[in-house]
Amino acid sequence: MSSTLDSLPPALAKIVQRFQRASEPKRRYEQLIWYAQKLKEFPEANKIPENKVPGCVSQVYVTATLDDDHVVYQGDSDSQLTKGLLALLVEGLNGLTPTEIVQLTPDFIQETGLNVSLTPSRANGFYNIFKTMQKKALECKLEQ
């Protein structure tokens, strides 16, 4: 186990470990599709420009709300793999405080092994989704 894994929030560390066990790129993609299918239904009404992730080839939407000082994300994408990346982040970051989310760095993607299988545009999309989620967590905190 690396120090990066030790410093991750428990839900995110569990996801990273799940991907580490999937040694082949095909298995990692299957894992992403599985996450995509687990993602809760995203209301059509939330598919508005303010919730759109900038810089993604796919259409990606994210919302964040605060529930007792903990961020709750929802999201959707028109691409299954991108939706899987989004779902991975939703599951890994939901329930954290805005401060915990803002302090995270996206380098845990290297720990999953996904970075070697992702196309440059998908890797960039992952980063943009992550940054948007951090920005929305910060906005939640500022609205308190």
Distances (CA, A) of 94 to 56, 83, 90, 127: 22, 16, 6, 17
Q: What would the mean pLDDT of 91-100 be, rounded to a whole number? A: 96
Q: What would the mean pLDDT of 17-42 be, rounded to a whole number? A: 92
For residue 52, what are the contacts with CB-CB under 8 A and spacing of at least 6? 59, 60, 61
Is 4's pLDDT higher than 80? no
Phi, psi of 71 (to 5 degrees): -80, 135
What sign does the dihedral 29-34-39-44 (CA atoms) show? positive
pLDDT band at 2, cuts 50/70/90? very low
Q: What would the mean pLDDT of 68-80 be, rounded to a whole number? A: 96
Write out the residue range of the structural domain in which residue 17 sits. 3-142
Q: What would the mean pLDDT of 31-35 be, rounded to a whole number? A: 95
Q: What would the mean pLDDT of 20-31 be, rounded to a whole number? A: 90
Token pair in block for residue 141: 């905190």
> CA 49, CA 134: separation in Å to the nearest integer?
17
Phi, psi of 118 (to 5 degrees): -80, 145
Which residue, 79, 89, 133, is CA-closest to 109? 89
**Residue of 56, 86, 109, 133 marked active site:** 56
CATH number, residue 94? 3.90.1010.10
Is 1's pLDDT higher than 50? no
pLDDT band at 122, cuts 50/70/90? confident
Is 119's pLDDT higher than 90? no
- The pLDDT tens digits for 34-66 are 999 999 999 999 999 999 999 888 999 999 999
Residue 94 · residue 71 · CB < 8 Å: yes
User: Domain count of the chain?
Assistant: 1
**Active-site residue flag, 56:** yes
Is 21's pLDDT higher than 80? yes
pLDDT at 81: 92
Q: How many CB atoms lie within 10 A of CB 129?
A: 25
Is 3's pLDDT higher than 70? no
